Amino acid sequence: MPSYDGAADPAAPLLEARGLCRSFGRVRVLHGIDLTLAPGEALAVAGPNGAGKSTLLRLLAGLLRPTAGEVRVLGRALHGGDAEARRAIGLLSHQSLLYDDLTLVENLTFAARLYGLPRPAAAARAALEAAGLGERSESSPPRLSRGLLQRAAITRALLHRPRVLLLDEPFTALDAAAAARLRQMLRERLTEGLGMVIVTHHLAEVWEIATRVLVMVNGRWVSDQARTGSLEEFLPRYRAWIDA
Amino acid sequence: MPETLRLALAIAGKDIRAELRSRTALVSAVVFAALVLVVFNFARDPTALSAVDLAPSVLWVTFALAAMVALNRAFTVEREHGALDGLLLAPLPRSALFAGKLLANLAFVGTVEAVTLPLFILFFNVDLRAALPGIIGVTALATVGFVSVGTIFSAMAVRTRFAELMLPVLLLPFMVPPLIGAVQVTARLLAGRPLSEMLGWLRLLALYDVVFVTLCTMVFPAVVDE
Indicate yes or no: CB of A83 within 8 angstroms of CB of B91. Answer: yes
Bridge partners for A46 per DSSP: A200, A215
| Number of other CB atoms surrounding residue B77 within 10 Å | 21
| Mean pLDDT of all residues in A206-211 | 93
Indicate yes or no: CB of B18 within 8 angstroms of CB of A94. Answer: no
Q: How far apart are CA B170 and CA B166, in angstroms?
A: 6
Closest by Cβ to A64, choosing from B77, B86, B226? B226
**Close Cβ partners of B105 (under 8 Å, ≥ 6 residues apart):** B70, B71, B74, B147, B150, B151, B154
pLDDT-derived band at B135 (thresholds 50, 70, 90) equals very high
User: In B80-160, where does DSSP find H-type helix?
Assistant: 83-89, 94-124, 132-157
Chain B nearest CA to A112, separation (Å): 10
Residue with the bigger pLDDT between A5 and A63: it is: A63
| DSSP 8-state code for residue A237 | H
Kind and range of the H or E element at B215? helix B199-224
Q: Which CATH superfamily is domain A12-87+196-244 in?
A: P-loop containing nucleotide triphosphate hydrolases (3.40.50.300)
Closest by Cβ to A89, choosing from B6, B18, B89? B89
What average pLDDT does chain A have?
Answer: 91
| DSSP 8-state code for residue A163 | S
Q: How far apart are CA A99 and CA B51, in angstroms?
A: 44
- Amino acid (1-letter code) at residue A99: Y
ipTM: 0.89
Lowest mean pLDDT among A76-80, B31-35, B103-107: A76-80
- For residue A156, the chain B residues in CB contact (below 8 A) are 86
**Pairing mode, if any, of strands A76-77 and A212-217?**
unpaired
Chosen for mutation from B80, B89, B97, B225 (greatest number of chain A CBs closer than 10 Å) is B89
Is the pLDDT assigned to residue A197 strictly greater than 80?
yes
pLDDT-derived band at B2 (thresholds 50, 70, 90) equals confident
Q: How far apart are CA B133 and CA A217, in angstroms?
A: 67
Q: How far apart are CA B30 and CA B101, in angstroms?
A: 20
Sign of CA dihedral A176, A181, A184, A185: negative
Q: What is the pTM of this model?
A: 0.90
**Pairing mode, if any, of strands A212-217 and A42-46?**
parallel
For chain A, the structural domain boundaries read: 12-87+196-244
For chain A, give the percent of residues with pLDDT over 90.
75
The pLDDT, as a whole number, for residue B94 is 92
Q: Which of A13, A3, A8, A20 is nearest to A36 (CA)?
A: A13
Indicate yes or no: CB of B89 within 8 angstroms of CB of A111. Answer: no
SS3 of residue A144 by DSSP = coil
| Number of other CB atoms surrounding residue A235 within 10 Å | 13
Chain B nearest CA to A10, separation (Å): 20
pLDDT one-digit tens code per residue, B152-166: 999 999 888 887 888
Evaluate whether A88 touches A162 at the Cβ level (below 8 Å).
yes
Kind and range of the H or E element at A16? strand A15-24
pLDDT one-digit tens code per residue, B76-87: 889 888 899 999
